[in-house]
Amino acid sequence: MTNATLRKKHIVVIGGGFAGLNFVKQLYRNGFYDITVVDRNNYNYFTPLLYQVATSFLEPSSISYPFRRLFRNKNVAFRMATLLDVDTASRTLHLGDGSDLTYDILVFAAGSRTNFFGNENIRHQSFSLKGIDDALYLRNELLKNLERASLENDPDERRRMLTVVIAGGGPTGVEVAGMLAETKKYILGNDYPSLAQAPVNIHVVDGAPNLLAPMSAKTHAAAFNALQKLGVQVKLNTQVKDYHNGRVQLSDGTSIEAGTLIWAAGVIANSFSGIAAESMGRGKRMITDAFNKVKGYGDIYAIGDISIQFTDAKYPEGHPQVAQPAIQQGKTLARNLLRMAKGKPPKPFRYFDRGDMAIIGRQFAVADLFKHKLHLGGMIGLMGWLFIHVMSLVNYNNKIKTLYNWAVAYATRDQALRLIFRPGNRENRNQAAS
Active site amino acids: 175
Cβ atoms of 37 and 67 closer than 8 Å: yes
- State phi, psi for 81 to the nearest 5 degrees: -165, 165
Q: Rounded to an integer, what distance in angstroms lies between the CA atom of residue 78 and that of residue 21? A: 12
3-state per-residue secondary structure call for 182-240: HHHHHCHHHHCHHHCCCCCEEEEECCCCCCCCCCCHHHHHHHHHHHHHCCCEEECCCCE
**Direct distance between the N- and C-terminal alpha carbons of the chain, in angstroms, rounded to an integer:** 67
Tallying the residues shown for the chain, one arrives at: 434
301 touches 293 (CB < 8 A): yes
Q: What are the φ and ψ backbone dihedral angles of 360, each rounded to 5 degrees?
A: -130, 100
CB 251 within 8 A of CB 235: no
Report the candidate in 167, 329, 312, 168 with the shortest Cα–Cα distance to residue 249. Answer: 167
Q: Which residues, including other chains, have CB under 8 Å from residue 67's CB and lie 6 or more apart?
A: 16, 37, 39, 42, 43, 44, 78, 80
Using CA atoms, how far apart are residues 177 and 232, in angstroms rounded to an integer?
7
**CA distance linking residue 137 with residue 433, whole number of Å:** 18
- d(CA 408, CA 187) in angstroms, rounded, equals 14
Give the helix ranges, DSSP H, for 13-131.
Answer: 18-25, 50-54, 67-70, 120-125
User: Considering only CA atoms, which of 49, 5, 16, 8 is closest in space to residue 390?
Assistant: 49
The amino acid that residue 305 corresponds to is: D
Q: Residue 207 carries which side chain, given as an amino acid letter?
A: G
The number of beta carbons lying within 10 Å of the beta carbon of residue 420 is 12
Contact 333, 303 (CB under 8 A): yes
Write the CB contacts of 236 (distance below 8 Å, at least 6 apart in sequence).
169, 206, 207, 208, 209, 210, 211
DSSP-derived pairing of the beta strands 112-114 and 355-360: unpaired
